[in-house]
Structure 1
Amino acid sequence: MSDEGLSAPGHGYRKGPVLLRGDQIPKTTSDQRLLSRAGSADWVHGDPWRVMRIQSEFVEGFGALAEVGPAVSVFGSARVPVDHPDYALGREVARLLVEAGYAVITGGGPGIMEAANQGAYEAGGLSVGLGIELPFEQGMNDYVDLGVNFRYFFARKTMFVKYSEGFVVMPGGFGTFDELFEALTLVQTHKVISFPIVLVGRDYWQGLIDWVGSAVLDRGMISAADLELLKVVDTAREAVDVVLERGAQLRAEEEAAAAETARAQQAAWESARDAAR
């Protein structure tokens, strides 16, 4: 028998990890509320129920993307028309990434996201879209092979970071800035491995780089080394070359770390063997 809800003078009412006392103690037990047919359906919109929805988004995302393999995320504006040069550039970036052995992950929407998915699809690679629920319906573009829709931005961002080995950032607005600085902060604070972040389009991004390298750096808000976390290029080929160069460095570092771990384990085993003799 569960002791949830048992109360005693001076001890209060225990509801899982939550302690309630005085007027906070409910008049009914959790089981009574669960089994009761009375009342409205408002409970499905409450915060505790949202926790389950959040959990399900992570479970579904992890399950859907677990076997994607090496992948790179491409960010950019949803407002770019099909005949815009940035659209063609997004397609080329994705095509080159696929030819280099990567899957391509986007936000699954129109504009540059669609361009990158189209480029990956046409190159015969895996085209992934991570959609988001918005007041204005965007929908998943037609070039997505594997699509996952999310209610919550933070769950979606986790998938971008967990399953990407680099970010290629095309011209975009607030949403693109948000994704860019989220990735940049995680790399700067060593919350993730230092994967490459490439800004494509010097004419678009140079003003931001100049501001960060002057006003932000001059006030001591960042260090000079932080500026090296961003690479600005003009062509698709340059963007993919940055990803490949950093990817090779990371693989070499991982192999060296694995070799060092193996050597340490072997030394520990030999030491234990010698001590047992």
Structure 2
Amino acid sequence: MADRMSYQKGPVHLRRGHVPSSTTDQRLLDSRGPTDWVHTDPWRVLRIQSEFVEGFGALSELGPAVAVFGSARTTPDDPMYEKAREVAEKLCGLGYAVITGGGPGAMEAANRGASECGGVSVGLGIELPHEQGLNEWVDLGINFRYFFVRKTMFVKYSQGYVVMPGGFGTLDELFEALTLSQTGKVTTFPIVLFGTAYWQGLVDWLRQTMLPDGKINESDLDLLLLTDDVDEAVAHFDAVASS
């Protein structure tokens, strides 16, 4: 949305002169500017609360689910687009709903796999300056203003993550899941990294730099499965998630 003529603000869709110059998250976290935050921040708590209520209400009866993450920049002719679709389709065939960030690229591919399978295809969108709107394969969609509320929904309503090649947002979700698993905040939570050519360098760094330096334990590396095989990814996820 480079021309900023259309904007999704939570559940509200804005165009032209109504498009804001900053996001809700930015206004919450930015300490610069006028001091009216003293008067408005307490009211923001109610908006944050309402986002939790909306999310919990919409997803409470979802059932077993998998969250699939990956780059919004993955094009349909990228082999990883088809792999994300296949992973979602096969997990859908095992009875899992598929949750993504609702955007284009790898997220669209996973939503497509779930929708074409006849399963539940969920998109949890976020208010951003770019990459606005839910993809056409989302059957149950929620748009959030706050990243931290959205991230809570991913963790609460999925049994684990399949992580396709992606950027900072994908890494953010990945390492939050690793932290929650490492600290026991979530249990029996499979995390699959799909695409060895993309992720091997990261795994090698964890093993060759963080581990020898004593920053993680050997067992922490067991929280991850790295694979290029759709069937292996699906089987591992299902085995751990249902254990």
Work out the CA distance in 2 between the residues paired with 1:145 and 1:64. Answer: 12
Superposition CA RMSD, Å? 1.4
1:47-126 correspondence to structure 2 within 5 Å? 47-126=41-120
Per-residue CA deviation, residues 174-220 of structure 1 (Å, 9 max, x unaligned), is: 00000000011000000111310000011111100000001100110
Classify the secondary structure of the residue corresponding to 2:66.
strand
Amino acid at match of 1:72: V
User: Partner residue of 2:194?
Assistant: 200
Contact 2:188 2:241 in 1 (8 A): no
Amino acid at match of 1:242: H
User: Partner residue of 2:160?
Assistant: 166
Q: TM-score, normalised by structure 1?
A: 0.73
Classify the secondary structure of the residue corresponding to 2:49.
helix
Q: Which has the higher helix share?
A: 1
Contact 1:103 1:125 in 2 (8 A): yes
Contact 2:103 2:123 in 1 (8 A): yes
Amino acid at match of 1:118: R
User: Partner residue of 1:245?
Assistant: 239
Work out the CA distance in 2 between the residues paired with 1:88 and 1:110. Answer: 13
Work out the CA distance in 2 between the residues paired with 1:248 and 1:60. Answer: 27
Q: Which runs of 4+ in 1 moved over 4 A?
A: 42-45
Which structure 2 segments of 5+ residues have no match?
Answer: 1-35
Contact 1:43 1:49 in 2 (8 A): no
Work out the CA distance in 1 between the residues paired with 2:63 and 2:100. Answer: 15
* Identical-residue share of aligned pairs (%): 68
Which structure 1 segments of 5+ residues have no match?
Answer: 1-41, 250-277
Work out the CA distance in 2 between the residues paired with 1:45 and 1:145. Answer: 38
1:183 matches 2:177? yes
Per-residue CA deviation, residues 91-150 of structure 1 (Å, 9 max, x unaligned), is: 001100110110000000000000000010001000000000001242100000100111
Change (3 A) 1:206 1:56: same
Q: TM-score, normalised by structure 2?
A: 0.83
- Which structure exhibits the higher relative contact order, with contacts defined as CA atoms closer than 8 Å and separated by 6 or more residues? 2
> 1:43: how far off?
7.7
Classify the secondary structure of the residue corresponding to 2:119.
coil
1:211-222 correspondence to structure 2 within 5 Å? 211-222=205-216
Per-residue CA deviation, residues 219-239 of structure 1 (Å, 9 max, x unaligned), is: 100001101001101022111
